[in-house]
Structure 1
């Protein structure tokens, strides 16, 4: 079970309360005292926030729970997303005074994406201004009408509200005037009902009700017969690299080979910062494994497949200033941190002797600097950061790539069409086997997913495009696997160049979803600022003192606005931003002109092809492919 929440909603406090009430801890730990069981890292104690996910074990009556605490700050949402992939259930903590903040709704979308059954704890009901009923109504409006306040026993109104979330349950209720416990458990598992509880975790009120609800309405994990496991975290403990995983089927034995020749040397069962060594880990359990060097979060082992790319990706790139430190020592340290968080995406330019990292925001940058100082004794600086743009297409095209140096041969035709926003790159195969053999088609499909495809406007990553194999040619005598890889990559670039010539390529930039609270006297200033930043807005609640404004704006325009808000409101204003989506760039022409990217000169991503004549290969420009291709264009 994972506990997730907006920062400062009381997530770690609730975790401590659960540990205390179940007897797992004799003393109630507190974040502000620096003795929280699930914030053992010195950096977490110093900052007073959860930065890394941690594990604890607790037992309530016959219910055994492995509790995974997660970071609350939006800059560390990637770590939270990794944990969600292995949960049976989650508890979403909502602040009764602040209600549904932007991060809360973001977490809700993630829980829905990973189909995690969710309980809700409305916290801080003892605080001034707390309104749990208003929060509940907002949950029902913004998240799901299945957010229902539970009590033991359930009264008639609650049972009726539960039944109304599902046709079969409603039929059962109308016929018998009640619902079987198994029916309610099913509705919770199917994310049609979300049991809500309220209280104050710091004062232990409502915690016993939540525990009783978890014991009554959850069902045990059902494992697969065949061995399987899901990696959700990588960390380092002194000289040991730890692969955190959840066994989903069969069992895991110490010394078992898991990835190639890499063996599970130790199986560690953690409880806070301490661990015991196990010889066997059963399905359903979580452990940390030593001896694995190439694992990564989201990786499937055994019967489990690898998960697709995480939903939340960094939107800012920072250049590293070594500040007199050896650049290669800096790179080694950052590579280890990238091992723990692959989204850092550390890149090294040998030519420029320069390192770049990808980050979500300023808080993550501050924590990265502190980690480098504490773990590696490296004091590093970073530049102001730049926006990570993406590219897409707005029309359909057929791209062709031809690779025919002497004694090699492959031609590939790809249909490229706009995908749904946020869909990334998707691949399909509609080629007949009498055109290309199944083996060649497999080589092409593997090649499509083997690299990060770049756009042709500024060379940014390509996204929201569906690429379909529609045709091509091979040679029984001359074609080898590498030929189809070359032809495939060239086909994708050639298609993009065709669309660029038609002005059908589009530059995308990240946009924030924001929530701005300002004094009434500053509403006009705030609206002018939002319009200046090319954002959109809606005026929200007005309590007579402050006004809430919500909306969207480009990250490039709003990323430094929080400090400006604090200045002109004299510390009374508050800005919360969550990266919501990529949208068409508001100043695309300016960015494209500034980058001066030449797609033809980008030899690692060339759109040109190679043909053969008179016993020698020769290059052919991308725009001559329609007349030179050996296989007919499918759209003609």
Structure 2
């Protein structure tokens, strides 16, 4: 894994070539790389889809997953994380540790995956190895250690990373057998240097992988992890799974579905296997309900750290439902591709990561499904949050129905999403009713009241309510729950305690030194923030943050005013307060009172009939004590 153009695929090819698993060394820029077999990858010269390869030698066998480096296809990398034993993080000597490198590093830390580091392109870079190692130690981990160093100095560097190990080393004992354990425990990170294109350093990396890694131990009972979904050229749905325990054969069942075939892939080619053993990653044919991150005999492992930030409308002259079916298939493969059918507009809306993904989607729709489509009117995906807490009340009591709920709405930490908690006493509401309320909370997309955008970074706690043993029926608490959350949001809006959020990029801009003034002026105009510029020999690096809406198309401007010498890298870092909220709110022109599917009003019953009570009068009509202390 690595940032774009660091040389991951070239390194993968070199590892295969050096072990005799590949007869000819392909090149990404020539379009003949073994691990970029897709026509789109050949045309673009980048990895778009993750691919599997086998590396074997007399002493070990590795399944290698080559992942995309472009941020728009990060879902492929995230899917692979769930099945890794080790990662090889590739760092370009030209770029050093980038913002995206740090993001990948944080993901490895989150999943507790041990990592080897290969610094590539050492043949075309003038910076000394010591300088690059310092960059890794300062920006990734202090225990990134040069494993190409020999002799006492190497063992001394390793020993200083662990107190017990240092004592052992100073007592003259060998620490050789302890090193693989330290690597597996992420206490040290082996660093190798070389050039994948020129095969420099490849033998050292291979020897290191063999010597310093530990083969996993597996359970006896059936366990596995789904890491991606694809479709082959005939349209067969493939479930890629790593077996983590037991054995699996064709015609056996997983969750009630029969496996028709088990395929072992090496690049584009595959063999049918009669038995799948622990540690293997294979593609299973015949399963229709699987999804990335799904655990077989294990808990699911779903990562939602990356979110789409752009939404487009599908424009086409062909059958719109044929397009919808094709996009649903692509959505099945890519969890970060969100496809929405808007019934009232008879339109398809697609949420994606960025412009490159949009262009690739157009080509995929044409080449895989023979459908000409365009994705137009790109909009930013905004969100809303709250800045104060309040007790929210929802009541639903038409004739012969009854339910009332009370929630505490509180601001959550930035980029924490929605959190639901139950603090209601069983003497107040029965367990069955509480479960209905919590299910209703978790199953609904809660919209804000400024623009109708999804609510995030908010904690909702169930604190009370009422039901009726005679009149409460299925669905009553679902209605009360929706109305209650919206009632609280309207209360907060009236107190200016609802906030509009927008996605922000973290950026790294490298430009000629005579263009620094222009760049800083541009960043300020984009409402961005930046650190002190860092001067290199002939260029300057500016790092900072800026709204996606302002920076989404800035890379083209950089290319133009630097005559191709500038370089802009962006990484989505989360949602923060919108820089032009008044303008956006006016543009949306959203009326929460007209959104009947998300009404904040409640229904009470009097004189044998139900009647609507407007949201700001609901607390005074509540039949369970309204307890919030102002």
TM-score of the superposed pair, with normalisation by structure 1: 0.95
1:252 to partner: Cα distance = 2.8
Aligned to 2:617: 624
Whether 1:575 and 2:574 are equivalent positions in the alignment is: no
Aligned to 2:529: 536
Gaps of 5+ in 2: none
User: Which of 98, 102, 111 is the aligned partner of 1:101?
Assistant: 98
Aligned to 1:449: 442
Aligned to 1:67: 64
| SS of residue paired to 1:477 | coil
Change (3 A) 1:203 1:496: same
Aligned to 1:89: 86
1:18 to partner: Cα distance = 1.0
1:30 to partner: Cα distance = 1.9
| SS of residue paired to 1:43 | helix
User: Which of 251, 273, 282 is the aligned partner of 1:255?
Assistant: 251
Whether 1:17 and 2:14 are equivalent positions in the alignment is: yes
User: Which of 240, 243, 247 is the aligned partner of 2:239?
Assistant: 243
Counterparts of residues 215-234 of structure 1 (less than 5 Å): 215-234=210-229
Change (3 A) 1:226 1:430: farther
Aligned to 1:278: 273
Aligned to 1:459: 452
Aligned length: 628
| SS of residue paired to 2:42 | helix
| SS of residue paired to 2:161 | coil
In 2, Cα distance between equivalents of 1:391 and 1:331: 28
Aligned to 1:44: 41
**Cα pair 2:93 2:125 within 8 Å, conserved:** no
Residues 440-462 of structure 1: per-residue CA shift (max 9 Å, x gap): 22222222221222111111111
Whether 1:204 and 2:199 are equivalent positions in the alignment is: yes
Residues 234-280 of structure 1: per-residue CA shift (max 9 Å, x gap): 11111301111222233333233324x43222221111111122233
Gaps of 5+ in 1: none
Change (3 A) 1:138 1:438: same
**Cα pair 1:540 1:548 within 8 Å, conserved:** yes
Counterparts of residues 315-330 of structure 1 (less than 5 Å): 315-322=309-316, 324-330=317-323
User: Which of 343, 346, 369 is the aligned partner of 1:376?
Assistant: 369
User: Which of 161, 167, 191 is the aligned partner of 1:165?
Assistant: 161
In 1, Cα distance between equivalents of 2:558 and 2:602: 53
In 2, Cα distance between equivalents of 1:139 and 1:451: 43
| SS of residue paired to 2:13 | helix
RMSD after superposition: 1.9
- Identify which range, 159-168 or 59-68, moves more after superposition: 159-168
In 2, Cα distance between equivalents of 1:58 and 1:280: 20
1:173 to partner: Cα distance = 4.0
- Identify which range, 590-599 or 425-434, moves more after superposition: 425-434
User: Which of 311, 335, 339 is the aligned partner of 1:346?
Assistant: 339
Aligned to 1:113: 110
| SS of residue paired to 1:151 | coil
Change (3 A) 1:401 1:55: same
In 1, Cα distance between equivalents of 2:278 and 2:330: 29
In 1, Cα distance between equivalents of 2:119 and 2:456: 38
Change (3 A) 1:588 1:170: farther
Change (3 A) 1:414 1:130: same
Change (3 A) 1:226 1:456: farther
1:384 to partner: Cα distance = 4.1
**Cα pair 2:336 2:353 within 8 Å, conserved:** no
Aligned to 2:190: 195
In 2, Cα distance between equivalents of 1:111 and 1:428: 29
**Cα pair 1:418 1:465 within 8 Å, conserved:** yes
In 1, Cα distance between equivalents of 2:461 and 2:126: 55
Aligned to 1:53: 50
In 2, Cα distance between equivalents of 1:589 and 1:178: 67
Change (3 A) 1:443 1:532: same
| SS of residue paired to 2:541 | strand
User: Which of 474, 498, 509 is the aligned partner of 2:502?
Assistant: 509
Whether 1:493 and 2:490 are equivalent positions in the alignment is: no
Change (3 A) 1:471 1:253: farther
**Cα pair 1:60 1:215 within 8 Å, conserved:** no
1:63 to partner: Cα distance = 2.1
In 1, Cα distance between equivalents of 2:437 and 2:74: 34
1:180 to partner: Cα distance = 5.1
Change (3 A) 1:616 1:268: farther
Whether 1:360 and 2:353 are equivalent positions in the alignment is: yes
Change (3 A) 1:63 1:477: farther
Aligned to 2:390: 397
1:97 to partner: Cα distance = 1.9
Change (3 A) 1:178 1:441: farther
1:575 to partner: Cα distance = 1.3
1:540 to partner: Cα distance = 3.5
Change (3 A) 1:256 1:467: farther
| SS of residue paired to 1:253 | coil
Change (3 A) 1:609 1:32: same
Residues 144-183 of structure 1: per-residue CA shift (max 9 Å, x gap): 101111137x6433333333334444454455554352x3
Counterparts of residues 556-571 of structure 1 (less than 5 Å): 556-571=549-564
Counterparts of residues 598-609 of structure 1 (less than 5 Å): 598-609=591-602
1:556 to partner: Cα distance = 0.8
**Cα pair 1:440 1:481 within 8 Å, conserved:** no
| SS of residue paired to 1:632 | coil
**Cα pair 2:78 2:303 within 8 Å, conserved:** no
**Cα pair 1:78 1:313 within 8 Å, conserved:** no
| SS of residue paired to 2:226 | strand
| SS of residue paired to 1:604 | helix
TM-score of the superposed pair, with normalisation by structure 2: 0.95
Residues 183-226 of structure 1: per-residue CA shift (max 9 Å, x gap): 33332223221111111111211111111111122112233444
In 1, Cα distance between equivalents of 2:181 and 2:456: 37
**Cα pair 2:2 2:91 within 8 Å, conserved:** yes
| SS of residue paired to 1:109 | helix
| SS of residue paired to 1:466 | strand
Change (3 A) 1:487 1:129: same
- Identify which range, 39-48 or 157-166, moves more after superposition: 157-166
**Cα pair 1:97 1:131 within 8 Å, conserved:** no
In 1, Cα distance between equivalents of 2:590 and 2:219: 50
| SS of residue paired to 1:91 | strand
**Cα pair 1:539 1:547 within 8 Å, conserved:** no
Aligned to 2:30: 33
**Cα pair 1:517 1:546 within 8 Å, conserved:** yes
Whether 1:312 and 2:309 are equivalent positions in the alignment is: no
| SS of residue paired to 2:287 | coil
User: Which of 175, 181, 186 is the aligned partner of 1:186?
Assistant: 181
Change (3 A) 1:128 1:475: same
